[in-house]
Structure 1
Amino acid sequence: MKGLPVTDHTPLLEDFSLEMTGKDIASLREAAPAIPADTRINVTFLGNEDLQMRVAAAKAVKELGFVPVPHISARRLTSQGELEEFLAALQGVGASEHVFVVGGDPEVPAGPYPDSLTVIRSGILQSYGVKEVSIAGYPEGHPDIADDVLWSHLGDKVSALREQGLGHVVLTQFAFDADAVSAWIDEVRSRGVDSEIRIGTPGPAGIKRLLGYARRFGVGTSASIAKKYGFSLTNLLGTAGPDRFVTELADLRANVSDPSETRIHFYTFGGLLATAEWAKNFRDGK
C-alpha cells in the first residue's frame, strides 16, 4: 500500500468514525484495541433489530471508551412514544448526546414521522440530552429523490438545528467518486452550510458485497465504481479497500479553504477490526 507522496492525508483520517449494527458487539470488543479512544461509532436502526439490541450496542460503545452515535430512523418509528422510549433508554446508558436522524427505508411511514426533519422539529430530542444531530448527505445523489429536493431538505434541517441550538454534522451515504464528493462539498459550503462533514465510504470489503450495496443505493454502475475505486470486475471474489478514494479526496481537498472539518466515516459491513487496522496502516503509509 502506498502513502501519499505529496498530500498529507492525515486530516481526513485523524478523527474517522465507524459504523456497526446491534449484532456487532462481539466484533466491536475484538476491534476495540485497534480503535483510537473517543472514536465516534454509529449504531444502526435496522428493521431486523429491536430497541434492546440498539441500546445494548450503544452502551457497549460507551463502555469501551468510544462515542456512541445511535441512529434514529424516522419512518420506522410507530409513535412518539416509541421515539421517547428509545431516547430515554439511550439517556439511561449515557448514549443520547449524539444521534443520527435519517428518514429510513420504508416506503410508507410506520407512524407520525415521514422524514427526519419532522423528528428534528418535534423538539423532543433536547428533552433527552441530545446535543448534536447528524443528518444525511448524498454526494452522488439519491435514486428516489431529486437533487433539488435533497438540497432543500439539507438546508431546512441545518436551519432547524441552528434554531434549536443543537450541533449539526452532515454524514453522507457511502461514495466511490472522489471528484463528485469534492464538488458536492464545495456546493454544501456555497449554500452556507458550515457543519462538520463526514464522508461515508466502505471499509475494506469483498468486491461482490460492495457492488451489491452500491446497486441497492443507486450509487453508480459496476464499471464506473471499478474504475474509480481501483479494482477489477474479473475478480469478484477479491476484496477492495478505500485506498484510492481517500488518496484522491485528500489530493482534491489539500488546498481548499474549508470553514469546518471534513472527515471520513467508514461503513464497515461488520469488518470493524479490518477497517480500524486499514486506517492505521494507511496513515502509517504501509
Structure 2
Amino acid sequence: MARTDERFREAYNALLDYCETLAPGDQLPAELALAAHLDVSRTVVRTALERMQAKGLVRWQGREKTLLRLPLQDDRLHVQMEQLSTEELERVFLDWVLRFDVPPGTALNVTEMARKFGVPPHSLQEFLASLSRFGLVRRRPRGGWELVGFTRDYAIELSDFRMVLELNAVSHLVALPTDHQIWQQLAALEAEHLALAAEIDTRFHDFSVLDERFHTTIGSVVRNRFVAEFQKVITLVFHYHYQWDKKDERERNLAAIGEHLRIIEALTDRNEDGALAAVRDHLRTSKQTLLSSLRSHALA
C-alpha cells in the first residue's frame, strides 16, 4: 500500500472517529477546520467527504455538511499499521500521562492520541475500555473518554492492599536460594538507584519508571494472576501518580530512592525483619504522600 493511500485511509478513519462524537443531524465544521483537526490538506478532506457522501454518511451541499448517520465498522478503511502490544501501549500511555502532567478530568481525544501513539483508534478504544474497569478512565456522556481520579477511600483501600501484597513478596524473596536471578536483579537496581540519585536534579522524572521496575521485580517472585492484574492499578496510581502535585517531586523522589536502597540492603543481607520494616515505612510514606496530594474529584 502506497504511503499516500495509507495516509488517506488514516485520515478518513480519523474523520469517522470525529463523527462518532456527533449526533445525526449535526453539522460538520468547515473544510479548513477539519484539515487542521486531521493534520491533512483540504484536498484530502474533500476526498474523504466525497466518499462519506457516497456511503450515505453525510449530505454535502455547498458549505453545509450534515451528518446523516453514525459510522459503522464496515464504513472504515483497512490500514496497515504495526501493532503495539498491550504492554507497549500501556507504557506509552503512562509515559504521556507522566511527562505532560495530565490532570484528572482531562478529555482524551482518541483520534489525536491514536496518531500520537501510532496505533489504530479501535485499539486505543479497547485499551481505554480495559482501564475503565479499574475506575481509571470513563466514557463521557456525548462520546469519548475522560481521565478520572480517585477518592480518599479508594486510595486508602488500594494502599492497604498493596501493603499486604508487598510484605508477602518480601517474605518469599528472602527465602530464595543464592543462585536465583533475583539477587542479580537487585544488584542492578541498586546501581541504577545510586546513579539516579547522583543526577536527581535533571532526571527526577525518570524515577517513576525505576520505581515501577523496583516494585515489580520484588513482586515477581510471587506467581499469582491476581497480583499481575492488580499491578495495572499500582502502576497508574503509585508509580505514575498522575494526580499528584508536582511541586516537590524532586525531593519526594530522592527520599524514595533512599527508602528503596534501605530495602535492597536488608533483602541482600537476608534480613527479613529489617526488610519488612523498611517496606512498611516506605509504603506508609507513599500512602501519606498520595493522600496529602490527592485532588478532590469524583470516582466513576
TM-score class, shorter: under 0.3
By relative contact order (CA 8 Å, sep 6+), the higher-ranking structure is: 1
TM-score between the two structures when normalised by the length of structure 1:
0.25
Higher strand share: 1
Higher helix share: 2
TM-score between the two structures when normalised by the length of structure 2:
0.24
